């Protein structure tokens, strides 16, 4: 005899499904309307600024502040990294509308595609990507055309100090990636973004320096004084790219005490956001 407890599976309510899909259509239409409205505001902004921009329309501190507000109000099951990617596509596109630019990417054609993935995650698909032979070539491209950006991966030890072309007033570090540090995120290759000097920017939260250590680079000692070594050469007279939170003048004085010479301030960036990250994960 049939089991009286056996029931047919619950079927979706077609009326409920239709209503949910209608709500999605309304939300999609509103998102599109807001993007169009945003573009009209950008048009007005371009008119207010004028069209003669000798450098880009980049505002890294403002971008960091916007991302922090997004993180603070985010809720639900949508991954934060997805929200960041959508937002960066929007920002990169509208920045390019204000002042067209290219992104020169070191390692763009490297096997594995990590730098291409990172570049597309950050700059979207509307900004042209240009392959740079290495970090030195990427920095030189920004020096040659201050409207452009460069993207350089961070490697612990390198053969040559590509950062020698950086300076506080010329091509300089403006951002560190990933900015949103989340376990398991896509496009997580450590890198820095290089730009020309940005107008109307205050002091960065993290100051960057290039320096030479004639007596050798003591990683433990510089770490004890609050520095992080982003990259360094392994020659008998090491050069290093270092960062430290806080006041840049204080950091420069500390580098002198640590035996550094040829100390060159070379920009800075907003401190990356760490969201639910295990202790062993670092940006």
Q: Each residue of 85-130: pLDDT tens digit?
A: 999 999 999 889 888 999 999 999 999 999 999 999 999 999 999 9
| 3-state secondary structure labels for all residues of the chain | CCCCCCCCCCCCCHHHHHHHHHHHHHHHHHHHHHHHHHHHHHHHHHHHHCCCCCCCCCCHHHHHHHHHHHHHHCCCCCCHHHHHHHHHHHHHHHHHHHCCCCEEEECCCCCCCHHHHHHHHHHCCCCCEEEECCHHHHHHHHHHCCCCEEEEECCCEECCCHHHHCCCCCCEEEEEECCEECCCCCCCCCEEEEECCCCCCCCCCEEEEEEECCCCCCHHHHHHCCCEEEEEECCCCCEEEEEEECCHHHHHHHHHHCCCEEEEEEEEECCCEECCCCCCCCC
The band of 281, judged by pLDDT with boundaries at 50, 70 and 90, is: very low
- pLDDT of residue 227 exceeding 90, the answer is yes
3-42 pLDDT, tens digit each: 656 665 677 888 899 999 999 999 999 999 999 999 999 8
**Mean confidence (pLDDT) of the chain:** 89
Give the model's pLDDT for residue 66.
92
What average pLDDT score do residues 142-150 get?
Answer: 94
pLDDT tens digits for range 185-221? 889 999 999 999 876 667 889 999 999 999 899 999 9
pLDDT digits (tens, 9 = 90+) for 156-187: 889 889 999 998 778 999 999 999 998 888 89
Q: What was the pLDDT predicted at 42?
A: 87
């Amino acid at each position: 005899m049939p089991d009286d407890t056996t029931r047919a599976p619950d079927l979706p309510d077609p009326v409920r499904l239709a209503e949910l899909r209608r709500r999605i259509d309304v939300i999609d239409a509103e998102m599109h309307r807001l993007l169009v409205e945003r573009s009209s505001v950008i048009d007005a902004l371009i008119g207010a600024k004028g069209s003669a921009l000798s450098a880009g329309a980049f505002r890294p501190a403002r971008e960091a502040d916007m991302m922090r507000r997004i993180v603070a109000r985010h809720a639900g099951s949508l991954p934060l990294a997805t929200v960041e990617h959508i937002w960066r596509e929007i920002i990169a596109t509208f920045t390019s509308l204000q002042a067209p630019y290219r992104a020169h990417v070191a390692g763009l054609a490297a096997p594995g595609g990590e730098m291409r993935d990172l570049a597309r995650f950050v700059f979207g698909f509307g900004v042209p990507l240009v392959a740079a032979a290495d970090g030195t070539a990427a920095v030189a491209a920004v020096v040659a055309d201050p409207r452009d950006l460069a993207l350089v991966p961070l490697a612990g030890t390198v053969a040559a100090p590509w950062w020698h072309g950086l300076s506080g007033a010329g091509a300089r570090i403006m951002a560190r990636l990933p900015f949103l540090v989340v376990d398991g995120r896509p496009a997580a290759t450590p890198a820095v973004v290089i730009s020309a000097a940005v107008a109307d920017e205050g002091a960065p939260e993290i100051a960057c320096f290039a320096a030479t250590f004639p007596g050798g680079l003591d990683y433990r000692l510089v770490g004890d004084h609050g520095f992080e070594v982003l990259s360094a050469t392994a020659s008998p007279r090491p050069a290093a790219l270092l960062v430290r939170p806080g006041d840049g003048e204080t950091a420069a004085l500390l580098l002198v005490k640590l035996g550094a010479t040829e100390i060159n301030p070379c920009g800075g960036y907003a401190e990356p956001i760490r969201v639910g990250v295990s202790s062993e994960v670092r940006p």
